[in-house]
Amino acid sequence: MGEKNIASAHLIVADDIPRADAIRVKHDAVDRLKETGIDHLTVEIEFEGEGCYSCPVD
């Protein structure tokens, strides 16, 4: 089957960022990371005041 490089990322954006800007940030991040050789990338947008719901608690 071969090897594939995969990654996931959480991007934190301002609470008041317009939706179109948040989508642009996400797409820019995906484009830049794919240039590094990542074959599959999952990106989640987190808002500043939201915190990371799926992050482990210390």
- Give pLDDT tens digits for 1-55: 678 888 888 899 999 999 999 999 999 999 998 899 888 888 889 898 886 666 6
Name the residue range of residue 25's domain: 6-47
Name, in order, each residue with C-beta under 8 angstroms of 38's C-beta and a sequence gap of 6 or more: 5, 6, 7
User: How many domains is the chain partitioned into structurally?
Assistant: 1
CA dihedral 30, 49, 20, 25 (to 10 degrees): -20
Is 37 within a domain? Answer: yes
Is 54 within a domain? Answer: no
Is 23 within a domain? Answer: yes
- Judge if pTM exceeds 0.75: no
Tokens of 15: 């609470």
* Per-residue confidence (pLDDT) for residue 55, from 0 to 100: 66
Is 1 within a domain? Answer: no
Long-range contacts at 34-38 (CB < 8 A, ≥ 24 apart): 37/5, 38/5, 38/6, 38/7
Is 52 within a domain? Answer: no
